[in-house]
Amino acid sequence: MIVAGEGLETKHARYVLTPWMAQGSLKPPVIVRGEGIYLYDAEGNRYADLTSGLIAVNLGHGNPAVRAAMHAQVDRLCFSPPSWFNDVRAEFAEALVRLAPWGEHGGRVFFTTSGASANEDAIKFARTITGRAKVLTAYRSFHGSGAGSATLTGENRRWYNEPASVMPGVVHFWSPYPYRSPFFTTDPAEETRRALQHVAETVAAENTEQVAAILIEPVIGSNGVIVFPPGYLAGLRALCDAHGIVLIFDEVMTGFGRVGAAFAGERFGVIPDAITFAKGVTSGYVPLGGVLLREDLVRTFDQRPLPAGHTYSGHPLAMATGLAALQAYRDGDLYARAANVIEPRLRAGLERIRDKHEIVGEVRGCGAFFAVEFVADRTTREPLVPWQGKSLGVMPTLFAALKKRGAYAFGRYDVLHVAPPLIITEDQIDEAVATIDIAVGELADAYAKSRS
Ligand SMILES: Cc1ncc(COP(=O)(O)O)c(C=O)c1O
């Protein structure tokens, strides 16, 4: 039933299904405009976007050069058949391959419209190339919510998918998590050693000759921004080399400057065989994802059909947006900015918060990609709310406090993510830290009250 004169908030709740949420009592702001690091709602309230949309809007909102390129493409061509060649697609693919870590070996790119389908297609490519079926991914990972990508996902957003539409052949393993070690270590070097032994044993138990790929987020993203201890990614590289396994980095979150380099592999000095990307590739302005694949692997498909295709593969509007976004990252030297300007200032600010509030267990991250993990007890490290539990306990207090003070950020369970656009100024970082400090104080008060 259509009701005339409804307010926007009511209309949204009535007609739109919001991802991952019970729909009954949602009351978020209605966002109508964005500029720089700020979002504005229909009532004119301003929110500092401290998680870059969904860790996608790396250039900030409304970048003028990207908008201009989008307008120009709209006026020229809005659709081009994926099976025919297209000018801006060629230019953009070349720019992406030049950004990839394979240097003179080169590579090619397949375009999708999301990170989820990029991961599904990457797996298809790895299976076709190796003639093997099995794929290993980490438990603490998110790779998308499609039938295949949800199976690849390690954490509880996979459970919705089971058992009806599980993709066969996916095996999960534990990756390092120094703060809550699955391997009972307290030393990062030992964590790396045991984690590598565990994954090697998992590969062997599955039969090395049946394992096509290991797919991993090079920094775990929405499961708490976990930076692996030194040597882990290099160890995975060596394991894959030893057994002819394709190493795929899911750089959907980490790509395009988020960790202080074009890709996380570059930052940590490890070169994968394939990279999946989305989000920051267009600064989130239009939907785009894709798979970058090293040239020697991709040659398989010169003689046999590529086992993937999408109506919107290489859509000209997405290509023009991505090309302009890459240029804007370069013009602002934003990958280096994330490493050299944002990382030290944000880390120092968040660590001051950690030192002040007992409720903070750990601050971790790199580039413009940080997490604050909350604990009920600093000594035992008991999480403030159970990971993947049914209740968020007092955590909503934190997000309400941020919102009340003009900031948006998202988190999961006992973790707050802090991942601002790469254009954030030093003053804006300091303001964000001050706002988070107050909100964490309110969280601590709410927790104390809940126990008294
Ligand atoms: C690491 C990672 N991979 C894949 C995805 C899925 O991407 P999309 O939402 O574009 O399907 C996400 C989304 O958050 C992600 O963080």
Total number of domains in the chain? 2
The answer to whether position 361 is within a domain reads yes
In the listed set 308, 331, 354, which residue is the last one of a domain according to the structure? 331
Residue for token pair 């919510």: 145
Tokens linked to 366: 């790199």
Closest C-alpha to 396, from 82, 91, 21:
21
Residue 154 beta carbon below 6 angstroms from any ligand 1 atom: no
What residues form DSSP beta bridges with 135? 170, 213
Atom 3 of ligand 1, nearest CA residue:
143
Taking the C-alpha atoms of residue 291 and residue 255, their distance in angstroms, rounded to an integer, is 12
How far is ligand 1, taken at its centre, from the CA of residue 258, in Å?
14
Residue 224 beta carbon below 6 angstroms from any ligand 1 atom: no
Tokens linked to 12: 């949204």
In the listed set 305, 331, 357, which residue is the last one of a domain according to the structure? 331
In the listed set 284, 300, 331, which residue is the last one of a domain according to the structure? 331
Residue 137 beta carbon below 6 angstroms from any ligand 1 atom: no
The answer to whether position 304 is within a domain reads yes
Closest C-alpha to 144, from 17, 42, 257, 278:
278
- CB-neighbour burial class of residue 351 (10 A; exposed 0-12, middle 13-18, buried 19+): middle
Q: What is the CATH number of the domain that holds 405?
A: 3.90.1150.10
The answer to whether position 75 is within a domain reads yes
Q: For residues 428 and 418, is the Cβ–Cβ distance under 8 A?
A: no
| Whether residue 41 is found in the same domain as residue 164 | no
What residues form DSSP beta bridges with 31? 41
Taking the C-alpha atoms of residue 269 and residue 447, their distance in angstroms, rounded to an integer, is 41
Atom 4 of ligand 1, nearest CA residue:
143
Residue 143 beta carbon below 6 angstroms from any ligand 1 atom: yes
Atom of ligand 1 nearest to the CA of 116: 11
User: Structural domain of residue 116, as residue ranges?
Assistant: 65-331
| Whether residue 93 is found in the same domain as residue 219 | yes
Taking the C-alpha atoms of residue 139 and residue 155, their distance in angstroms, rounded to an integer, is 6
> According to the model, what pLDDT value does residue 447 have?
97
How far is ligand 1, taken at its centre, from the CA of residue 253, in Å?
7
| Whether residue 286 is found in the same domain as residue 341 | no
Residue 115 beta carbon below 6 angstroms from any ligand 1 atom: yes
| Whether residue 322 is found in the same domain as residue 342 | no
How far is ligand 1, taken at its centre, from the CA of residue 219, in Å?
13
| Whether residue 446 is found in the same domain as residue 309 | no
Residue 121 beta carbon below 6 angstroms from any ligand 1 atom: no
| Whether residue 134 is found in the same domain as residue 158 | yes
End-to-end CA separation in angstroms for the chain: 47
> According to the model, what pLDDT value does residue 440 have?
98
| Whether residue 356 is found in the same domain as residue 259 | no
How far is ligand 1, taken at its centre, from the CA of residue 275, in Å?
13
> According to the model, what pLDDT value does residue 161 have?
85
> According to the model, what pLDDT value does residue 242 have?
98
Q: Which long-range contacts (CB under 8 A, 24 or more apart) does 177-182 make?
A: 177/140, 177/220, 177/224, 177/226, 178/229, 179/226, 179/361, 179/362, 179/364, 179/373, 179/381, 180/381
For the chain, how big is the Rg over CA atoms in Å?
22
Q: What is the CATH number of the domain that holds 152?
A: 3.40.640.10
Predicted structure pTM score: 0.97
Closest C-alpha to 274, from 212, 194, 325, 232:
212
Three-class secondary structure assignment of 240-288: HHHHCCEEEEECCCCCCCCCCCCCHHHHHCCCCCEEEECHHHHCCCCCC
| Whether residue 213 is found in the same domain as residue 313 | yes
- From first to last of its 452 residues, the chain has per-residue pLDDT tens of 566 667 999 999 999 999 999 999 899 999 999 999 999 999 999 999 999 999 999 999 999 999 999 999 999 999 999 999 999 999 999 999 999 999 999 999 999 999 999 999 999 999 999 999 999 999 999 999 999 999 999 999 999 888 877 899 999 999 999 999 999 999 999 999 999 999 999 999 999 999 999 999 999 999 999 999 999 999 999 999 999 999 999 999 999 999 999 999 999 999 999 999 999 999 999 999 999 999 999 999 999 999 999 999 999 999 999 999 999 999 999 999 999 999 999 999 999 999 999 999 999 999 999 999 999 999 999 999 999 999 999 999 999 999 999 999 999 999 999 999 999 999 999 999 999 999 999 999 999 999 98
| Whether residue 151 is found in the same domain as residue 294 | yes
| Whether residue 83 is found in the same domain as residue 193 | yes
The answer to whether position 267 is within a domain reads yes
| Whether residue 320 is found in the same domain as residue 394 | no
| Whether residue 45 is found in the same domain as residue 82 | no
